[in-house]
Structure 1
Amino acid sequence: MDSVRVAVLQMVSGDDLDHNLAQAEALLRQAAAEGAELVLLPEYFYLMPVDERARVALAAPVEDHPLLAWARELARELGVWLLAGTLPLESDEPGKMHNSSLLIDPQGELASRYDKLHLFGFCTGQEQYDEAATMSPGREVVSHPLPWGLLRLGICYDLRFPELFRLDPAPDFIALPAAFTHTTGLAHWELLLRARAVENLAFVFASAQGGHHPGGRRTFGHSMIIGPWGRILAQVEEGQGLAIATLDLAAQRRVRSQLPALSHRKIAVGP
């Protein structure tokens, strides 16, 4: 296959679950109507509450999760591969959850699960975040073969850890649903995304939260699709919307042939 059409969805989720799901469904339907074959929701698309424990209260086993059932039905109806942002899945640690990215195939079947490995911690005096207070970290690096190439899964803060994406086999695509803070995003978001694309000669799909949320939290947005040469192919800056692009897979193969940096590596990166 020489091309695939991909959409990244951007939301400004709040503390009303039903409203958030309605907004997500509308964007999903728009992306499918515009020909997207792979669609990515942002991190926490279902809820951005004042109290992080509200998300923990929604945690459930993956096989019984009502939000997964919602996502599976939409993927099946629309006939798309759907990366359902992140969902709260049960953890063995009391009072905590796994922040998990679930990939669903066009038949509505769960294809892959990735639990966020790196938990965000940030304190400036004005802003403070401590994901480890309500989340358990994942334990495994996850890739999944798509019809068009290999997808490596990551979530938000994982972006800052390039070794996650350097592990063999080299990914053709990198998925990063996120809710980057405005402070860190303004400084680093585009820089890090383009670096991950260039160093891996991979397409990067970043679906983000982008605006003001309950409790005063502000996210950076700028959901984007980036090509293996580091060029931004499509972008949503702030607010709700979607970015969509048709990827030239033959061009990626050409670039990897002309600049075979992946085969020139001398330092092995292990799990």
Structure 2
Amino acid sequence: MKIAALQMVSGARAEGNLATARTLLERAAAEGAELALLPEYFSAMGLHERDKLALAETPGKGPVQDFLARAAQDLGLWIVGGTLPLVCEDADRVRNSSLAYSPQGRCVARYDKVHLFRLEHGSEQIDESRTIEPGAAPVQFRLKDRTGHDWCLGLSVCYDLRFPEFYRLHAAAGADLLLVPAAFTWTTGSAHWEVLLRARAIENQAFVLAAAQGGRHENGRRTWGQSLLIDPWGEVLAARPEGAGLVLAEADPERLAQVRRQLPALGHRVF
């Protein structure tokens, strides 16, 4: 199955971001992708931390959700919409949610980011818990590719990447492909991004597709980029260092089976 990670440098206005996302999705479909993953906050990277509250949509209703459903149906793609803010019971916070859409335009899965990022690094002071309400559990969904092969996909978001036990739950549920939309900071990305992604692929013997924000944003923040597809042996199959664009490569189920057969580590777990 050919799959695509869409890298963006999202601004504060949704209209321009959605236009960029649509162009990249059309490219992915034209090049034969069956699944496309957008980055975290693909529809807007606000100028201020609380901007996301005004952009929050009601689950099942809103312009960004309509955009994802329409694009999936128009292009015949499975689309995982990075993340967008959805309203929750706490009026001062939102859920940072990843939504998966079928080629028929139907939302088939929702995952709310569980682990909330906090960083104190010089002038960089980030605490997501001030505006985001955490989710409670990992989520998987299944799809059949054009050959009829059945895939189990595990959803995650950005900071989740630092918690291996979270991905072990995906592996225990049978995940073959782990999805990681992200907006890693330059500071943390330059130090840890690739090594964490490769570790999650190796230890769970799964493909990992990571779609990142990558560049300098209107709000002054710089994100790391380096969107990747990694195979179950930890080999990087495709990558894009920075800037808006496409990472496209093949997730081969025979390669997945080969790795799990030659080193059946998932079956050797004791704890």
Unmatched 5+ residue regions in structure 2? Answer: 145-149
Equivalent residue for 2:254, pick from 232, 250, 265: 250
Which residue in the other structure is 2:164 paired with?
A: 162
> Is 2:186 the counterpart of 1:182?
yes
Q: Report if aligned partners of 1:170, 1:200 keep a CA contact under 8 Å in 2.
A: no
Which residue in the other structure is 1:210 paired with?
A: 214
Which residue in the other structure is 1:75 paired with?
A: 72
Task: Report the Cα offset of residue 211 of structure 1.
Answer: 0.3
Q: 2: distance between equivalents of 1:141 and 1:17?
A: 28
Task: Report the Cα offset of residue 26 of structure 1.
Answer: 0.4
Q: 1: distance between equivalents of 2:50 and 2:11?
A: 14
Q: 1: distance between equivalents of 2:53 and 2:82?
A: 16
The aligned amino acid for 1:7 is: A
Which residue in the other structure is 1:140 paired with?
A: 137
Which residue in the other structure is 2:147 paired with?
A: none
What are the within-5 Å matches in structure 2 for residues 86-235 of structure 1?
A: 86-147=83-144, 148-167=150-169, 168-235=172-239
The aligned amino acid for 1:17 is: A
User: CA offsets per residue over residues 174-219 of structure 1, 9 Å max, x none?
Assistant: 0000000000000000000000000001000000000001232000
What are the within-5 Å matches in structure 2 for residues 19-30 of structure 1?
A: 19-30=16-27
Q: Percent of aligned pairs with the same residue?
A: 52
Task: Give TM-score, length-normalised by structure 2.
Answer: 0.96
State the SS of the aligned residue for 1:50. coil
Q: 2: distance between equivalents of 1:41 and 1:174?
A: 14
Q: 1: distance between equivalents of 2:35 and 2:134?
A: 26
Moved over 2 A (4+): none
The aligned amino acid for 1:201 is: Q
Q: 2: distance between equivalents of 1:59 and 1:264?
A: 44
The aligned amino acid for 2:139 is: V
State the SS of the aligned residue for 2:20. helix
Q: 2: distance between equivalents of 1:54 and 1:254?
A: 47
Task: Give TM-score, length-normalised by structure 1.
Answer: 0.96
Q: Report if aligned partners of 1:172, 1:202 keep a CA contact under 8 Å in 2.
A: yes
Q: Report if aligned partners of 1:88, 1:99 keep a CA contact under 8 Å in 2.
A: yes
User: CA offsets per residue over residues 82-123 of structure 1, 9 Å max, x none?
Assistant: 001101101111211000000000100000000000000001
Q: 2: distance between equivalents of 1:165 and 1:49?
A: 29
Q: 1: distance between equivalents of 2:259 and 2:141?
A: 22
Q: 2: distance between equivalents of 1:13 and 1:135?
A: 19
Aligned length: 264
Which residue in the other structure is 2:52 paired with?
A: 55
CA-based RMSD of the aligned residues comes to 0.8
User: CA offsets per residue over residues 36-92 of structure 1, 9 Å max, x none?
Assistant: 000000000111122121111111221112211111000001001000110110111
Q: 1: distance between equivalents of 2:91 and 2:70?
A: 30
Unmatched 5+ residue regions in structure 1? Answer: none
> Is 2:42 the counterpart of 1:45?
yes
Q: 1: distance between equivalents of 2:253 and 2:261?
A: 12
